[in-house]
Amino acid sequence: MPLLAWMMSKGKIHMEKIKLETVSFAYQQQNSSITVINDVNMSIQEGEFVSIIGPSGCGKSTILSLLAGLNFPCNGKILLNGQRIKGTGNERGVVFQHYSLFPWMSARKNILFGLRQLDDRKSPEKREQITDHYLALVGLKDAGDKYPGQLSGGMQQRVAIARAFAMDAEILLMDEPFSAVDAKNRTALQQLLLDLWNNGEKKKTVVFVTHDVDEAILLSDRIIVMSTCTKGVKDTIRVAFERPRNRAVLMRTTAYAGMRNTLVNLLFDDLLEEAEIEV
C-alpha cells in the first residue's frame, strides 16, 4: 500500500473536504443589497465534526445553505473535494431545525423516499432493509408506520437523522437540528448523533450550526465563531478533549470551564461591538 494511502487509513493524514475562499453573500432587497457574510475563509477536513456558532444574523445558516448548493456566493468560491459546488448533490445530506419530514408519509416511507431519490437501482428489498436498520439504530423500530403528526418532536428529528444517515452522504449539514426539542431529548439526540458519526465504517464530515456553546463543545473537533460585526470568522477554537466524551465528567473540569468562558466571551464581545456600531 502506498505511504499516503496507509497514513490516511490510520488517521495520520486528513484530506481537505470543504474550502471556502473569500466567500461573500448578500440578499437583494429592492434597490439595495444586505451583506450577510463577507470574505469568509474556512477549511474543513474529511471526517471532521465542525460546529459554527455566533449571534443571530451572523450568517451561520447562510453558510450552510451555500454548502448545500441552495444559494451561491456573490464573490469567492466554495470547493468540495477540490471542485466548485454548482448545486445540490447526493454527497450532501441536510438536517434542518424543523423536522422537514413529509407529513403525508410514514416514518418508514420518509426514509424510503430519500433512498429512492438517491439510487433507484437498489431493489425494494434492499431499500427496506436499509430503512429498517436505521430506524432500529435511532430507537424507532416499532414506530416506522407512524406519521410525523403521531410522533413527538424528538422522534421526528430522529427520523430525519435516520434518513440522512441511511442515504450515506459523505457530508452532513445540520442547521440547529435539536433546538426545537426539550432538554432531555436534546441530550439524547446529541448522543445519538455522536454514536452514528463515530461508529460508521467511515466518519462523515459534519458541519453543525448551533447557538448552544455546550452542545458545540460536546460534539465538535473544532468550533468556528462567526461575527455579526465583520460578517466573517471571528475565531476558531480546537476542541482537544478525548473521545468518547462523558458529558457529566467533562463539564466539571477546569479545562471545559475555560473553553466555555472563552467562547462565551467571544460571543459577548461581538454583541458589545455590534451595539457600539448601532449607537
pLDDT for 185 equals 82
pLDDT of residue 2: 46
Please report the pLDDT score of residue 240 as a whole number: 92
d(CA 146, CA 165): 20
Cα separation, 99 vs 154, in Å, equals 9
Q: What is the DSSP string of 42-54?
A: EEEETT-EEEEE-
CA nearest to 115, candidates 173, 157, 168, 159: 168
Judged by DSSP in three states, 178 sits in coil
The per-residue pLDDT for 12 is 43
Give the pLDDT score at 70: 92
Check residue 17 and give its pLDDT: 95
CA distance 59 to 65: 10
pLDDT value, residue 161: 87
Sign of CA dihedral 203, 111, 178, 154: negative
What is residue 4's three-state secondary structure? helix
List domains and CATH numbers for the chain: 3-91+169-278 (3.40.50.300), 102-168 (no CATH)
Q: Which has the closest alpha carbon to 211: 251, 243, 178, 256?
A: 178
Assessment of whether the complete model's pTM goes beyond 0.75 = yes
Give me 40's grid cell: 469568509
Q: What is the pLDDT of residues 32-56, one digit of tens each?
A: 888 999 999 999 999 999 999 998 8
Give the model's pLDDT for residue 275: 59
pLDDT value for 273: 67
Which residues, 6+ apart, have CB-to-CB distance to 242 below 8 Å?
none
d(CA 136, CA 279): 54
If you count them, how many residues does the chain have? 279
What does the pLDDT read at residue 54?
A: 92
Q: Which residues contact 49 (CB under 8 A, 6 or more apart)?
A: 197, 205, 206, 208, 219, 220, 221, 222
Q: Which residues, given as ranges, of the chain have pLDDT below 70?
A: 1-14, 98-99, 120, 271-279
Distance CA 211, CA 226 (A): 11
SS3 60: helix
pLDDT on residue 254: 97
In whole angstroms, what is the distance from residue 237 CA to residue 262 CA? Answer: 9
List, for residues 163-211, the tens digit of each pLDDT value.
888 888 899 999 998 887 788 888 888 988 998 898 877 889 999 999 9
What's residue 9's pLDDT? Answer: 46
CA separation for the pair 270, 255 (Å, rounded): 23
Task: Give the whole-angstrom CA distance, residue 192 versus residue 11.
Answer: 23
H helices of the chain, in order, are: 3-9, 60-68, 107-118, 124-137, 153-166, 183-199, 213-219, 247-250, 254-278
Helix crossing, 153-166 with 124-137: angle to 10°? 130
Please count the CA atoms within 13 angstroms of the CA of 200 that sit on its side-chain side.
20
